[in-house]
Amino acid sequence: MQKIFIIGGAGKVGRYLARQLAQRGHEARTLHRNAQQTDELQALGAVPVQGNLLELDADGLAALIGDSDAVVFTAGAGGKGGPQMTDAIDGQGLELAVAAAQQAGVQRFLLVSAFPEAGRNKVVSDTFENYMAVKKCADVHLAESDLDWVILRPGTLLDSPGTGKVRAGLAIPYGDVPREDVAATLLALIEQPAVNRMIVELTGGDTPVADAIQSLVSG
């Protein structure tokens, strides 16, 4: 059993991940800011941890992370609150989480980022351009840390049921992927520590999730 601390645990990917972790016998510790979400998260099999990423400092977040075996950062402003909120959560929030993980002595860190081709060949807003820029800066910050990191870059996220099959690689064509399969990929990465200090792109595909992640190890 591993103890996994999920930042963004009340989000869609975070909820899927918490349920899948519990089903595999792991302990999912889900950070959430709304006390009304506690019962919902417990029903998924998670251990709710109340806290607000916008209010915590590194000391406070490190105390919440505690003796976790890994941190998963899947928090995001989701376009709400404009560039300032994206900067605060997707950017500064990630930097805070990295500092807290280092302080807590948690070496394994997984980040849900963004596929670099997202929105290309389309007219996009300044808010979206800022989002992509912040995501890239967050990737750089984590990659330059001394943590055992994995950056997962999923394609366009879908709410359709997961298929259990994906395409994963260092560089793959752009595409869509169900959020449930993103969570399953995170679970497979958690259980495959040999995938380390690597950026992984992810879309829907034809390969079972566990096999797709194993192929990153075996080449």
Q: Give the residue numbers marked as catalytic.
A: 131
Which residues, in sequence order, are bridge partners of residue 188? none
Q: 30, 46 in Cβ contact below 8 A?
A: yes
CA–CA separation, 49 and 31 (whole Å): 5
Cβ-contact 4, 65 below 8 angstroms:
no
Please state, in angstroms and rounded to a whole number, the distance separating the CA atoms of residues 127 and 115: 16
3-state secondary structure labels for all residues of 104-154 = HCCCEEEEECCCCCCCCCCCCCHHHHHHHHHHHHHHHHHHCCCCEEEEEEE
Q: Which amino acid, residue 118?
A: A
User: If you ran DSSP here, which 8-state letter would residue 28 be given?
Assistant: E
Question: Which among 30, 24, 28 is positioned nearest to 9, based on CA atoms?
Answer: 30
- The Cα 55–Cα 53 span in angstroms is 6
